[in-house]
A and B are shown apart, each in its own frame.
Chain A
């Protein structure tokens, strides 16, 4: 209780500090004996959010709930689930909030497409600008512009 209160206080007061509880998460007793399975468990855990933490995956968090989820993931893997099935199982239970990499369906298309779309727009504007500038370079490359002529004379006078 006191710890939660303190955490709230810290969230309100800290400058640009990320709120992570220190100490890494995975305890030795959780680790699976099969290294291939354990590796899969770790990579799945990295994509699942600890529900009671701030922007931490269950792989990084030492919260009890994160531990429960890690064990759950490993249980499913031991029972022979594929990676996707494990993730689907967790999402079905806790909602898409647990996914650190959001789905690309529905309104999330906006999130996923905003970067490429903006790149196209910005690239298009940039290219249009460049072509305009370079067209004038063709026009002006024949000789000096009036401006440049004036400046040249000024320099020569000095």
Chain B
């Protein structure tokens, strides 16, 4: 047995990196196969060719997973012969951030993207046995084509496995702002959402090729759309939460192009989720749902394009590295043109079946789709307008938060107003008075809340009352929705418990939206701020809280040095906590970050930031009083939870297993 074999530097890792590279190429070839063979098979009804999509999808996923694993190994072992590791890692970085560094950069994030593309394809291969064989083959084919495009993008323009000719001693570190748990898991969730919408696209295109779309299609596509929506919700929520506590002044949404890039797919996925219900339950809105599925994925890719090419930040950034941007734009153009052409050719064949009256749940869902789609359109125009204006009108201008707040918010207010009404209306035809009657107590309660708040607040701003009216209206509307489903008489609680999970999911998600709306409005309407130079030992008051700067000292972290302060918090002289805000400097990256200290509460956060020392020995201390801040993310969690409840509903699990029971029945005969 060889003992003490010299563990020479990185020869083992050498092989692993090359293995990853090789697997990536093989996965690319498998995807090419998967994009073509099952499609031909489905056209000619060749069973073997169609079924080849299933092992191909599995193989493609395993190969991509190996490639991703190989890159992760390089990051964990700080293999500085790999260029990407040098650029984005450092040997003294904490292990968690070595791993998250894998996707904290362009090349690695694209590898994660394509890994998720193959993962979703795998789900259809593994759990899609209830789908007709031809539809499954076509869905996997389209998904394979998407994978081909992104594999090619990675291999030809963003290869993560490139080596350094001369490996340096150490890496250049990951952006310190990214070294944070909230942000570390923000990109994977967003990508799961973006890429989840590729499944909706694949289902839409496959249905167009198939020339058939019915209630069953609606039921198959909904779980994927719902999963994508849940991940987008969590991803956006994480990003917003991160911005809130990390950027040092408690902003939670900036209408930045990259934020909008994730918000537009979310809005469209929300619309798609609701229109797919109409397809599933009423066999109506079919062609619109197909169109929405195509466009929603288009916006996911626009999101990737915006973040990856940097085109919105500056036209010049795009010119500096045009290859990637043009490549992504070509992928986007190809899939949108292909999808929309197919749509134009086939959509008229989609005959709507369900008929319904003007006053019906269908109608409100149409209004929901109009509002969400137009809201997404407004965000889109605002996001690209600086670019359009500079290119075509030679006007260099900015479109920022004030524009979006004004142009976007009205849509959400109307959406919140109609939501409980639509949720409680019956399908097909509603009697206005009879359907609205159960909502009357909810409406009265919400108005009362709004009036109370109007009377209590010192400033005459409508923001708080409106936000809390919507919040109360949505939450109480969700309760009414659940209660009306349990019928009358005794045993209602038992029936409430036994309601389908989809009903619970719907109510929880809708209530979550209300909580978020109230949180946003409350925070913006009543936040307070204090900026001052405080001497050590000095006590001052902000929004009814007393703060004492007790001490300031220097501390040392694993890969940073920091100034840390002790700030004691009291309420009317009774101390209840000591906050420790920090100001860090990461020497490797040469970048300062502020670590705000937050006292979280159900009704308010107290947010303290320590700034620079002053000549007179004092320190700049910023204090923010943030009412209802946690409601914003609490609402997002409720929305995601509602989605998860709905996803776990029996009807989707039954649909997945339906074919097997059928097959058994046939065998029994």
Residues 232-261 of chain B: 1 if any A CB is under 8 Å from the residue's CB, otherwise 0?
000000010001001111010011111101
Residue B215 lies at the interface, judged by CB distance under 8 Å to chain A: no
Other-chain residue from A17, A60, A95, A136 in contact with B258 (beta carbon distance below 8 A): A17
Residue B589 lies at the interface, judged by CB distance under 8 Å to chain A: yes
A114 to B355, CA, bound (A): 32
B370 touches A126 (CB 8 A): yes
Residue A119 lies at the interface, judged by CB distance under 8 Å to chain B: yes
A23 touches B611 (CB 8 A): yes
Contact A147 to B589, CB < 8 A, known contacts A55-B257, A123-B370, A137-B429: no
A137 touches B403 (CB 8 A): no
Residues 23-51 of chain A: 1 if any B CB is under 8 Å from the residue's CB, otherwise 0?
11111100100000000000000110100
A44 to chain B, nearest CB (A): 11
CB neighbours of B395 from chain A (8 A): 96, 106-108
Residues 366-387 of chain B: 1 if any A CB is under 8 Å from the residue's CB, otherwise 0?
1101100110011001100100
Other-chain residue from A13, A14, A17 in contact with B87 (beta carbon distance below 8 A): A13
B356 touches A134 (CB 8 A): yes
Residues 385-422 of chain B: 1 if any A CB is under 8 Å from the residue's CB, otherwise 0?
10001001101111111110011000000000000000
Q: Which of A8-22 contact B (CB under 8 A)?
A: 9-20, 22
Contact A115 to B397, CB < 8 A, known contacts A11-B310, A137-B357: no
Q: Which of B91-116 contact A (CB under 8 A)?
A: 103-106, 109
A17 to chain B, nearest CB (A): 7
CB neighbours of B589 from chain A (8 A): 6
Instruction: Point out which of A15, A22, A122, A136 has the most chain B C-beta atoms below 10 A from its C-beta.
Output: A15
A23 touches B592 (CB 8 A): yes
CB neighbours of B256 from chain A (8 A): 18-19, 54-55
Q: Which of B183-191, B548-556, B557-565, B652-660 contacts A (4 or more CB under 8 A)?
A: B183-191
CB neighbours of B429 from chain A (8 A): 137, 141
B259 to chain A, nearest CB (A): 6
CB neighbours of B374 from chain A (8 A): 115, 118-119, 122
B377 touches A114 (CB 8 A): yes
B243 touches A130 (CB 8 A): no
B116 to chain A, nearest CB (A): 13
Q: Which of B179-200 contact A (CB under 8 A)?
A: 183, 186-187, 190
CB neighbours of B52 from chain A (8 A): none
A111 to B378, CA, bound (A): 9
A3 to chain B, nearest CB (A): 6
A47 to B190, CA, bound (A): 30
A98 to chain B, nearest CB (A): 7
Residue B591 lies at the interface, judged by CB distance under 8 Å to chain A: yes
B377 touches A47 (CB 8 A): no
Closest residue of A by beta carbon distance from B239: A16
CB neighbours of B258 from chain A (8 A): 16-18
Residue B499 lies at the interface, judged by CB distance under 8 Å to chain A: no
CB neighbours of A18 from chain B (8 A): 243, 254, 256, 258-259
A24 touches B609 (CB 8 A): yes
Other-chain residue from A16, A60, A95, A111 in contact with B251 (beta carbon distance below 8 A): A60
B175 touches A14 (CB 8 A): yes
Other-chain residue from B239, B249, B310, B593 in contact with A60 (beta carbon distance below 8 A): B249
Residues 115-145 of chain A: 1 if any B CB is under 8 Å from the residue's CB, otherwise 0?
1001100110010011101101100110000
Other-chain residue from A15, A100, A134, A140 in contact with B104 (beta carbon distance below 8 A): A15
Closest residue of A by beta carbon distance from B380: A114
Residue B431 lies at the interface, judged by CB distance under 8 Å to chain A: no
CB neighbours of A156 from chain B (8 A): none
Residue A64 lies at the interface, judged by CB distance under 8 Å to chain B: no
Query: How many residues of chain A are within 8 Å of chain B by beta carbon?
Result: 61
Residues 306-343 of chain B: 1 if any A CB is under 8 Å from the residue's CB, otherwise 0?
01001001000100010000000000000000000000
A18 to chain B, nearest CB (A): 4
Residue B164 lies at the interface, judged by CB distance under 8 Å to chain A: no
Residue B622 lies at the interface, judged by CB distance under 8 Å to chain A: yes
CB neighbours of A27 from chain B (8 A): 531, 611, 620
A23 touches B355 (CB 8 A): no
Contact A13 to B594, CB < 8 A, known contacts A24-B248, A115-B378, A123-B370: no
A2 touches B377 (CB 8 A): no
A105 to chain B, nearest CB (A): 10
Closest residue of B by beta carbon distance from A139: B355
Residue B362 lies at the interface, judged by CB distance under 8 Å to chain A: yes
A126 to B275, CA, bound (A): 13
Residue B177 lies at the interface, judged by CB distance under 8 Å to chain A: yes
B381 touches A16 (CB 8 A): no
Contact A16 to B399, CB < 8 A, known contacts A23-B611, A122-B374: no
Other-chain residue from B178, B247, B389 in contact with A14 (beta carbon distance below 8 A): B178
A26 to B533, CA, bound (A): 12
A43 to chain B, nearest CB (A): 10
B333 to chain A, nearest CB (A): 22
Contact A97 to B396, CB < 8 A, known contacts A6-B589, A55-B257: yes
Contact A46 to B356, CB < 8 A, known contacts A22-B248, A55-B256, A107-B393: no
A115 touches B381 (CB 8 A): yes
Residue B262 lies at the interface, judged by CB distance under 8 Å to chain A: yes
B381 touches A114 (CB 8 A): yes
B400 touches A101 (CB 8 A): yes
A96 to B385, CA, bound (A): 14
A146 to B105, CA, bound (A): 59
A97 to B389, CA, bound (A): 11
B398 touches A106 (CB 8 A): no
Residue A77 lies at the interface, judged by CB distance under 8 Å to chain B: no
Residues 130-162 of chain B: 1 if any A CB is under 8 Å from the residue's CB, otherwise 0?
000000000000000000000000000000000
B398 touches A16 (CB 8 A): no
B195 to chain A, nearest CB (A): 14
Residue B650 lies at the interface, judged by CB distance under 8 Å to chain A: no
Instruction: Point out which of A10, A47, A49 has the most chain B C-beta atoms below 10 A from its C-beta.
Output: A10
Residue B4 lies at the interface, judged by CB distance under 8 Å to chain A: no
CB neighbours of B303 from chain A (8 A): 16
A13 to B307, CA, bound (A): 9
10 further A-B contacts with Cβ under 8 Å, apart from A24-B622, A27-B620, A107-B395, are A3-B591, A15-B104, A16-B307, A17-B178, A24-B609, A97-B397, A107-B393, A108-B389, A114-B377, A137-B356
Q: Which 7 A-B pairs have the closest CB atoms?
A: A100-B400, A101-B402, A24-B249, A115-B378, A107-B393, A15-B187, A137-B355
Chain A to chain B contacts (Cβ below 8 Å), 20 pairs? A10-B175, A16-B186, A17-B258, A18-B254, A22-B592, A24-B609, A55-B400, A56-B254, A99-B397, A100-B401, A101-B400, A101-B403, A102-B399, A107-B393, A115-B407, A123-B370, A126-B367, A129-B366, A133-B355, A137-B357
